[in-house]
Amino acid sequence: MSHIEAVRNVCGETFAPPRHVAIIMDGNGRWAAQRGLPRGEGHRRGVEALRRTVRAAGDLGIDILTLFSFSSENWSRPLAEVRDLMGLLRRFVRNDLAELHHKNVRVRIIGERHLLDPEIGRLLQEAEDLTRGNTGLTLVVAFNYGARQEVARAARRLAAEVAAGRLAPEAITAESIAAHLDAPDLPDPDLIIRTSGEQRLSNFLLWQAAYSELVFVPTYWPDFDRAALESAIAEYRRRERRFGGLAARAGTGS
């Protein structure tokens, strides 16, 4: 019996999964260190966990899965580790993109791209272009991403509109800022999961996480699997989402 089925039985009702789940994939290095393996092996096993999680998300009926794959701060890691991570990205796109496309997965990329190595930029663009018309799971990959930097980009876009006379400063609202973020058409995540036991967002989706439910799991990312995802969703279902009010908002599935 899965964790989700167990919650169904206790509650005596069925429910839809959260529409949008975001995951901070953390713990590759510590997973490797515990086993006396190089950090690169932890990252390679992390790619296997990514594959498992994408399949599980599709099976569970999640509409949008956002994965924090590489932060804007990760460039400060040792050069050899950064090269290893870029190699894994290349192999993932080249080896897995066709399967994702076959399974009707749409790939979206958020983060700063204009300063990336041209080959990496082309791979990311290829993933988006090939899968643009797909209608199944939307897989959002946060690459070279930082939430503060994303908000700064939105502010610059709004400032340019003000400077051009197309927007009055007093017309800037929370809604207009949200409309200038990297993926304004996507709903905010209902659930954000962080693996490895760390309990912070680490500059991930800070704007969008305003009313997300946060679930921190002790599992290192390479060991994350469908059961761990189901367990996190079951915990999400036990929460009462008030969105700043006194009662859960109707129609949220909570």
Q: Which of 9, 59, 63, 74 does the annotation list as catalytic?
A: 74
Query: If you average pLDDT over every residue of the chain, what do you get?
Result: 89
Residues 113-136, mean pLDDT to the nearest whole number: 92
Q: Which of 26, 63, 84, 182 does the annotation list as catalytic?
A: 26
* Predicted TM-score (pTM) of this structure: 0.88
Count: domains in the chain: 1
Percent of the chain as helix, strand, coil, to the nearest 5: 50, 15, 40
Q: Are 131 and 105 in contact (CB under 8 A)?
A: yes
What does the DSSP assignment read for 78-92?
A: -HHHHHHHHHHHHHH
Q: The tokens of 226 are what?
A: 């469908």
**33-83 pLDDT, tens digit each:** 999 999 999 999 999 999 999 999 999 999 999 999 888 888 888 888 888
Residues 190-199, mean pLDDT to the nearest whole number: 97
Domain at 91, CATH number: 3.40.1180.10
pLDDT at position 10 is: 39
pLDDT at position 249 is: 54
155 domain residue, yes or no: yes
- Please say if 74 is a catalytic residue: yes
Neighbours of 151 (CB within 10 A): 16
Give the helix/strand (H/E) hosting 141.
strand 138-145
The DSSP call for residue 239 is S
Domain span including residue 180? 17-237
What span, in angstroms and rounded, lies between the C-alpha atoms of 146 and 224? 23
251 domain residue, yes or no: no
138 domain residue, yes or no: yes
DSSP E strands: which ranges in 6-125?
A: 20-24, 64-71, 106-110
Model confidence at 116: pLDDT above 90: no
254 domain residue, yes or no: no
- Please say if 117 is a catalytic residue: no
